[in-house]
Structure 1
Amino acid sequence: MFGRLHSWSRRHPAVVGLLWLAPFLLLSVVNAELIRSGNVSPLGRDLGSWGFLALATALVAPLFWMRRRPLAVFATISLLSFAQWLAGVQPLFFNLSVLIAMYGVAAYRAPRWAIGALLTSELGIFLALVRLPGEFEGKPFASASVFVMAIWITGIYTSTRRRYLEGLEERAERAERERDQQARLAAAAERARIARELHDVVAHNVSVMIVQADGAGYALGGGDPDTAREAMRTISATGRRALAEMRRMVGVLRADDTTEEYTPQPGLSQLDELVARVRSSGLPVDLRIAGDRQALPEGEELTVYRIVQEALTNTLKHGGPGTRATVEMEYGARELLLRVTDDGRGAAAPRSPDGHGLVGMRERAAVFGGSVDARPRPGGGFQVTARLPVGEPAAG
């Protein structure tokens, strides 16, 4: 509640200033009218109704700028009150604006200024009591001091609370910036990994082309043109696939890592092995494939494999006991639909703050012009849906 009021007051400083002024100005007009009509006699020097109204306005009006210039407002009201004391005009109800200005200094300025404002207010209370009829007594001064201290402590609490809320806002903004930075770093790391894997795929295709070219040369030398033609067709098809993979790599920065071993990259033929490993880890998985299977580039097969791997790994981490998962692949005329679902805890599952698996999925799919959607299921559980184009040449 306090936090919402603080935020609203920061957005509307002029309205807050008017709220401070409104009751004092209203009482000034009423009191001035009572003095003018003779129903109330002023204490001390008679300023007249208009003089009284002018003094009250001068004491109250600076409060409008209290939030923006609390020191100047406190100094102005204090000096006016001191001049009023010197002129022999008795304290008025509107001299309480000194205490409100003191609250503003305690709430919006450093502690040393707050202490100075407190001491000044205490001095004002002392001077006012000395000038009142009768002898000065310590008891009224003590009671007034307690009242002044209560207002001052309220201002100090407001200052502490405001600084605390500002600290929370700053930490939240910093955490948001760090989260965005971590997401960008994760995306860059995933792009680098994709680039390395695609490099391996292209290297494999080039190796096949070299072997086929050597075979074609031997076939031509041995008088077997049919075998040579078949080898050349294989070289042509493999070259087109390699070119498509290379084109997909444009814009993907590859981080140099000469220590990483060359290992064959998995594809759709290894999905059964992946599912078997996940089952052995304690997660029942059902694999379903529908439609006429189509040949995909090695890089796209690798992307499908990694998406399934990441989705099942997340289910193992967050699904909870008794969870079951289903992997569905459906080959269409122009796209491959991949859906990995589970019946685990879904939205109620705790998520790792430093996990970037979903970022990696989307980055991989985007390389091939596809998309990934991951969200909790309405009836419970989690679902990852990926759509990848098939049967389309790489954009040149």
Structure 2
Amino acid sequence: MFGRLRAWKRRHSLLVDTLALTPLMLLGLVSTLAASSYRSGSWPGGFGAGMALLISAMLVVPLVWRRRYPLATFAIVALVSFAQWVVRIDTLPVNIAVLVAMYGVAARRPLKWAIAAAAVSEFGMFLSLVRDDTIAALPASTVFIIAIWVTGIYVNMRQRYVESLLERAERAEHERDQQARIAAAAERTRIARELHDVVAHNVSVMVVQADGAGYAIDTDPEQARRAVQAVSSTGRQALAEMRRLVGVLRDDQASAGEYAPQPGLRQLTDLVEQVRASGLPVEFTVSGSPQAVPEGEQLVIYRIIQEALTNTLKHGGPGVRARVLMEYGSSDVTLTVTDDGRGAAAVRAEDGHGLIGMRERVSMYGGTVRATPHLGGGFQVTARLPVGQTA
């Protein structure tokens, strides 16, 4: 309700300002009626009521635009009052319009203009009191002028404060939208890494199984059949994970419950079995006292082991074997994935997406990762990941 009222006032500001001058208009009318009761001498040229009505209109009408043009309004009202003093027309109650205009300047213009308006008002009050031989009332009049001026200054400061709050709110809203866009971009980058891990691992397994099936199709049809089944199963799993990830990219509003959960420590056994089924012997060992690991860090552990074993499948060469050691410490988890493949003796590119993805994932939780080839052949990936409050 109050919001609609404020909006209506903003749309009809001129009408509101005119209605606010009703008391001053009534005061001018009273001045006119008082002037009509004068019989002689007080008004130049014998114009009593007519002159009072004209001066009242010249003082009140400009105040209608006091919000839009406070300086011009004050200048007009002050000049009319000064001209009234020059021609020796008695001061009217409606001359208080000078203080109304001064308030408008103090409330809507910088301090230097407010000080100038207060000085002009004080000087005009002094001239009027001197001519009427009422200079003793100057201190009280000065206090009255200062009170009105201070009120205008306070309103001005209040308006500037509200404007600063609105500006801060707009800036905060803009920053919030920007942060949301940055977070969305970061999430898409994370999903892209997930997609790379899914495709790289599962396609590597499928290629190895397909090659094995091609070699064994004539000599060992049963082994070839199992290899083809493994290719089919791995392909379905890859498609399911890709649908989940691409679905997140397509629909920002989709709830997390519509998609399968991210893999964690419980899925490590399935991962190792899948790699073993592809023809890579893997020894998986867990040491230390298992502790609770947050889901985000479980995903990091899973992806590091997955990426390291995928690299072994790609580059290890024939007869390669792999060993995965997962050690629980008091405040961290250490992963060591080694292989003895001959293909790993060559220097690998340090800017591959897999290794970069490992480092990014581990660095998010304050951990470290190192991938180095062995002198006699093989490769080793070592990662340390803080867990719990340490992370």
Query: Which TM class, normalised by the smaller chain length?
Result: 0.5 to 0.7
Structure 2: which 5+ runs fail to align? 251-261, 269-289, 295-301, 304-391
The match for 2:367 is none
Counting only pairs closer than 5 Å after superposition, residues 182-201 of structure 1 correspond to structure 2 as 182-201=179-198
Seen in structure 2, the aligned counterparts of structure 1 residues 154 and 72 have a Cα distance that, compared at 3 Å, is: same
Contact in 2 for aligned 1:35/1:41 (Cα 8 Å) = no
The match for 2:161 is 164
- Work out the percentage of aligned pairs sharing the same amino acid: 54
Larger Rg: 2
Which residue identity does 1:56 align to in structure 2? S
Taking the aligned partners of 1:154 and 1:5, their CA distance within structure 2 comes to: 24
Contact in 1 for aligned 2:59/2:80 (Cα 8 Å) = yes
The one of 212, 221, 224 equivalent to 1:225 is 221
Contact in 2 for aligned 1:106/1:152 (Cα 8 Å) = yes
Contact in 2 for aligned 1:104/1:155 (Cα 8 Å) = yes
The match for 1:101 is 101
Seen in structure 2, the aligned counterparts of structure 1 residues 250 and 270 have a Cα distance that, compared at 3 Å, is: closer
> Residue 114 in 1 paired to residue 114 in 2?
yes
The match for 2:52 is 52
> Residue 64 in 1 paired to residue 64 in 2?
yes
The match for 1:235 is 231
Contact in 1 for aligned 2:59/2:95 (Cα 8 Å) = yes
Seen in structure 2, the aligned counterparts of structure 1 residues 163 and 8 have a Cα distance that, compared at 3 Å, is: farther
The match for 2:204 is 207
Which residue identity does 1:238 align to in structure 2? T
Taking the aligned partners of 2:86 and 2:34, their CA distance within structure 1 comes to: 25
Contact in 2 for aligned 1:56/1:94 (Cα 8 Å) = yes
How far does residue 182 in structure 1 lie from its aligned partner after superposition?
1.2
> Residue 82 in 1 paired to residue 78 in 2?
no
Contact in 2 for aligned 1:85/1:128 (Cα 8 Å) = yes
Structure 1: which 5+ runs fail to align? 254-264, 282-297, 300-396
Contact in 2 for aligned 1:192/1:252 (Cα 8 Å) = no
Compute the TM-score of the two structures, normalised by the length of structure 1.
0.57
Seen in structure 2, the aligned counterparts of structure 1 residues 7 and 119 have a Cα distance that, compared at 3 Å, is: farther
How far does residue 16 in structure 1 lie from its aligned partner after superposition?
3.9
Taking the aligned partners of 1:243 and 1:270, their CA distance within structure 2 comes to: 18
3-state SS of the aligned residue for 1:266? coil
Seen in structure 2, the aligned counterparts of structure 1 residues 154 and 125 have a Cα distance that, compared at 3 Å, is: same
How far does residue 48 in structure 1 lie from its aligned partner after superposition?
3.1
Seen in structure 2, the aligned counterparts of structure 1 residues 86 and 66 have a Cα distance that, compared at 3 Å, is: same
3-state SS of the aligned residue for 2:217? helix
3-state SS of the aligned residue for 1:68? coil
How far does residue 101 in structure 1 lie from its aligned partner after superposition?
0.5
Seen in structure 2, the aligned counterparts of structure 1 residues 18 and 42 have a Cα distance that, compared at 3 Å, is: farther
Taking the aligned partners of 1:225 and 1:127, their CA distance within structure 2 comes to: 119
The match for 1:366 is none
Counting only pairs closer than 5 Å after superposition, residues 129-140 of structure 1 correspond to structure 2 as 129-132=129-132, 135=133, 137=135, 139-140=136-137
How far does residue 147 in structure 1 lie from its aligned partner after superposition?
0.7
Compute the TM-score of the two structures, normalised by the length of structure 2.
0.58
Taking the aligned partners of 2:95 and 2:138, their CA distance within structure 1 comes to: 16
Seen in structure 2, the aligned counterparts of structure 1 residues 167 and 12 have a Cα distance that, compared at 3 Å, is: farther
Contact in 1 for aligned 2:81/2:95 (Cα 8 Å) = yes
3-state SS of the aligned residue for 2:184? helix
Which residue identity does 2:168 align to in structure 1? R
How far does residue 237 in structure 1 lie from its aligned partner after superposition?
4.7
Taking the aligned partners of 1:80 and 1:237, their CA distance within structure 2 comes to: 96
Counting only pairs closer than 5 Å after superposition, residues 1-396 of structure 1 correspond to structure 2 as 13-33=13-33, 35-36=35-36, 38=37, 43-45=42-44, 46-132=46-132, 135=133, 137=135, 139-222=136-219, 224-239=220-235, 241-242=237-238, 248-249=245-246, 266-267=263-264, 269-270=266-267
Seen in structure 2, the aligned counterparts of structure 1 residues 207 and 101 have a Cα distance that, compared at 3 Å, is: same
Which residue identity does 1:153 align to in structure 2? V
Aligned residues: 261
Task: State the Cα RMSD in Å.
Answer: 3.6
The match for 1:324 is none
The match for 2:311 is none
Contact in 2 for aligned 1:20/1:63 (Cα 8 Å) = no
Which structure exhibits the higher relative contact order, with contacts defined as CA atoms closer than 8 Å and separated by 6 or more residues?
1
